Structure 1
């Protein structure tokens, strides 16, 4: 009798485990975090389309591995530039364009450009999501007087854009910092 009760408990347990371990085909897709190896910022002089400066950040193995390769921008003083930014995962072949995902999910992303106090440089956002909130994939950069300093570029996923009043910063936005790095900018 004890053996049959034990057998019933075991069979019932197995059935319960089998039922709850079945996959749910209706489950919502998981938005995997983007893995970004390469970022390119293009500065195009608004008065001379042939004057293009490319700044880039490349870290193929990600944080903690080999040192990133950075091409720092040298910009002309008192010049206005149109800017665009590209995010790639070059660990895939062909390279995966993360910029397209960011643009498609623009309500869920923002790019920050924070310049050091000593750098006479500012980026104004030229793009917005469906709610009229900034995104940062395109902008207008103003390079002022001769100066040098750090420009921190940060892509945030899941920001609370309603918190962004005044000068927006990653700290005010919340969300997940997908990638963050610094360019050493020279304006001459």
Structure 2
């Protein structure tokens, strides 16, 4: 009888230790919620210009870096060539060519327009930029997928195109948020 009690006590002790050891293990971590505002890979930035005086005069400038930032250099890096003393509408097309089918990132920027803004500035070249598309903030803030470019005197330089991702901090300025894309195109005004 004493042996049965000892065996039962040993079995109970082992069972207790097993249960206790299972209870001490850390719980599986709670998975993080999906980040709906994560930065997209942008491999291609194309500027599509339409001359306001002649809608048949289309001009394109493309920056294409198939593996994204770092790694290999761009495979295409066009110069923006516009007429001096002219006005153009510029539409921006953003692509991620690393995906199959190719992902049109511009659609995501348009969908999340309250979180994105393009910024433009030139070095040397004489161009004035005006936004044509706005988000739904009050007051509305610019997006920049569609802009008007007014060129002035002939010259050359660079135009800096920056897309900022600014969820919950967009205020119309360059400072807040993260940079989704940044390209400095050579520009010639003829």
Which TM-score band (shorter chain)? 0.7 to 0.9
Q: Distance in 2 between matches of 1:59 and 1:66?
A: 8
1:177/1:48 CA distance change after superposition, 3 Å: same
Q: Distance in 1 between matches of 2:30 and 2:41?
A: 30
Q: Name the structure 2 match of 1:161.
A: 170
2:102 is the alignment partner of 1:95: yes
What is the Cα deviation at residue 21 of structure 1?
4.0
Among residues 77, 97, 108, which one is paired with 2:115 in the alignment? 108
Q: Deviations over 1:127-172 (max 9, x none)?
A: 100111100000100111011111111111116332x3xxx4x3x3
Q: Name the structure 2 match of 1:142.
A: 150
Gaps of 5+ in 2: 1-9
Larger gyration radius, structure 1 or structure 2: 2
2:60 is the alignment partner of 1:58: no
Q: Distance in 2 between matches of 1:52 and 1:42?
A: 7
Q: Distance in 2 between matches of 1:76 and 1:148?
A: 11
Among residues 70, 79, 87, which one is paired with 1:80 in the alignment? 87
Q: Deviations over 1:72-128 (max 9, x none)?
A: 111101000011001000111111000000000000001111111x21012110110
TM-score normalised by L of structure 1: 0.85
Q: Distance in 1 between matches of 2:77 and 2:143?
A: 24
1:28/1:184 CA distance change after superposition, 3 Å: same
Q: Name the structure 1 match of 2:34.
A: 29
Q: Is the 8 A contact 2:43 2:65 kept in 1?
A: yes
Residues matched between the structures, number: 174
Which deviates further from its counterpart, 118-127 or 4-13?
A: 4-13
Q: Distance in 2 between matches of 1:21 and 1:53?
A: 53
RMSD: 1.9
Q: Distance in 1 between matches of 2:68 and 2:156?
A: 27
What is the Cα deviation at residue 5 of structure 1?
5.7
Q: Name the structure 2 match of 1:152.
A: 160
Q: Distance in 2 between matches of 1:180 and 1:52?
A: 23
